[in-house]
Amino acid sequence: MKQGAQGSAATGIPQVPEVPGSSGAPRVPPQGRAAGVGVDLGVDLDRERGAGHSAPTARGEHTHSEQPIPRPRPVVQRASVRGQIVDALRTALVTGELAPGVVYSAPALGERFGVSATPVREAMQQLALEGAVEVVPNRGFRVVERGVRGLAELAEVRALIEVPVMLRLARTVPAERWAELRPLAEATVRAASTGCRATYAETDRTFHRAVLSLCGNEQLVQIADDLHRRAQWPLVSAVLSAGRGHADLIADAAEHTALLDALIAGDLDVVRSLVGEHFAG
């Protein structure tokens, strides 16, 4: 994993757990102006390609009454590989290493991941359903280009869903329940201090999911989380300096802790103001 470990340290992308038997963690291939994406993913190519094929019969004596040892269903392994690739590609989207407007082919990505094109294509199709990429016939998948207006629209829809729920919860959830979320709010602050957008994106969504889950509506939580994820993808025109991007993360995380303080104190006016500012920002 020498090459993959260096790639993770350089980009700040969280390490993807290795599948046992992995022989390396290659990088996403450079294509066009998205050279050197640098996503780590350890996958055993021989195992992935061998899914669905019977293993050779072991040589040796056996009795007719001996029960065969059941083997894992190949579909479980295939789903696991696809899931790891989806997570890795989502991370690359958040960091901007999968560049907006660039077309990526499944075979090329699969070669770098150490798997066949099939699980990569399935992962990209999942991202297409989420609105992150679009299919380009006979070429691959293009990362969607999104401008300021698209981001504003996402923020508006999120506010329509989350703000009323948070205000209702502020009136009904006891202070001790809000206090239980303190570690999650503090985790966003620590993640923001590192400047790693991928790490912060995950802690940010975790905090918001925890707040919304108190309403008991799982469908609402899933929809809000999907919108939140889309809002974290970088704008095609957003060429921010490292310092400005870092400052934005710290300010956003500070709003989490301030909001939690207001919820614990039961100050509805402050909660209403902070929630509005959080989505407007």
Cα(51)–Cα(1) distance, integer angstroms: 23
SS3 233: coil
Q: What is the domain count for the chain? A: 2
Considering the domain architecture, whether residues 230 and 159 belong to the same structural domain is answered as yes
User: What is the tens place of the pLDDT at every residue in 185-216?
Assistant: 999 999 999 988 889 999 999 999 999 999 99
CA quadruple 269, 273, 278, 280: dihedral positive or negative? positive
Considering the domain architecture, whether residues 33 and 119 belong to the same structural domain is answered as yes
Torsion of CA 244, 247, 252, 255, to 10 degrees: -140
Instruction: Categorize the per-residue pLDDT at 278 as very low, low, confident or very high, splitting at 50, 70 and 90.
Output: confident
Q: Which two tokens stand for residue 105?
A: 């082919």
Domain finish residue from 143, 166, 199: 143
Instruction: Categorize the per-residue pLDDT at 41 as very low, low, confident or very high, splitting at 50, 70 and 90.
Output: very low
User: What is the tens place of the pLDDT at every residue in 66-114?
Assistant: 455 454 444 435 558 888 999 888 888 888 888 888 999 999 888 877 8
Considering the domain architecture, whether residues 135 and 168 belong to the same structural domain is answered as no
Give 3-state DSSP helix, strand, coil % of the chain, rounded to 5: 60, 5, 35
Residue 65 domain flag: no
Domain finish residue from 143, 173, 195: 143
Residue 61 domain flag: no
Considering the domain architecture, whether residues 176 and 247 belong to the same structural domain is answered as yes
Considering the domain architecture, whether residues 102 and 152 belong to the same structural domain is answered as no
Q: What is the pLDDT of residue 280?
A: 76
What mean pLDDT comes out for the span 51-59?
44
Q: Are 237 and 159 in contact (CB under 8 A)?
A: no
Domain finish residue from 92, 125, 143: 143
Cα(38)–Cα(79) distance, integer angstroms: 22
| Stretch among 17-21, 120-124, 217-221 having the lowest mean pLDDT | 17-21
Q: What is the pLDDT of residue 65?
A: 57
User: Which residues fall within 8 angstroms of residue 195, CB to CB, at 6 or more apart?
Assistant: 12, 242, 245, 246, 249
Cα(209)–Cα(206) distance, integer angstroms: 5
Return the bridge partners of 104, or none: 141
User: Which residues fall within 8 angstroms of residue 162, CB to CB, at 6 or more apart?
Assistant: 208, 212, 224, 275, 279
Q: Which two tokens stand for residue 133?
A: 């990429």
Q: What is the pLDDT of residue 199?
A: 92
Q: Which two tokens stand for residue 80?
A: 């696991």
Considering the domain architecture, whether residues 136 and 12 belong to the same structural domain is answered as yes
Q: What is the pLDDT of residue 184?
A: 97
Considering the domain architecture, whether residues 23 and 79 belong to the same structural domain is answered as yes
Say which CATH number the domain at 238 has.
Answer: 1.20.120.530
Following DSSP, what letter does each residue of 208-221 receive, concatenated?
HHHHHHTT--HHHH
Residue 58 domain flag: no
For the chain, percent of residues with pLDDT exceeding 90: 44
Q: Of 99, 233, 272, whose CA–CA distance to 154 is shortest?
A: 233
Residue 208 domain flag: yes
Say which CATH number the domain at 125 has.
Answer: 1.10.10.10
Supply the mean pLDDT for the chain: 76
Considering the domain architecture, whether residues 169 and 85 belong to the same structural domain is answered as no
Residue 55 domain flag: no
Residue 89 domain flag: yes
Q: Which domain holds residue 117?
A: 2-50+74-143
Instruction: Categorize the per-residue pLDDT at 136 as very low, low, confident or very high, splitting at 50, 70 and 90.
Output: very high
SS3 235: coil
pLDDT of 167 over the 80 cut: yes
SS (H, E, C) 107-170: HHHHHHHCCCHHHHHHHHHHHHHCCCEEEECCCEEEECCCCHHHHHHHHHHHHHHHHHHHHHHH
Q: What is the pLDDT of residue 78?
A: 53
Considering the domain architecture, whether residues 120 and 194 belong to the same structural domain is answered as no
Considering the domain architecture, whether residues 116 and 21 belong to the same structural domain is answered as yes
Residue 57 domain flag: no
Residue 196 domain flag: yes
End-to-end CA distance of the chain: give it in Å, rounded: 40
User: What is the tens place of the pLDDT at every residue in 209-254?
Assistant: 999 999 999 999 999 999 999 888 877 654 443 344 788 889 999 9
Considering the domain architecture, whether residues 131 and 174 belong to the same structural domain is answered as no
Q: Are 42 and 19 in contact (CB under 8 A)?
A: yes
Considering the domain architecture, whether residues 83 and 199 belong to the same structural domain is answered as no
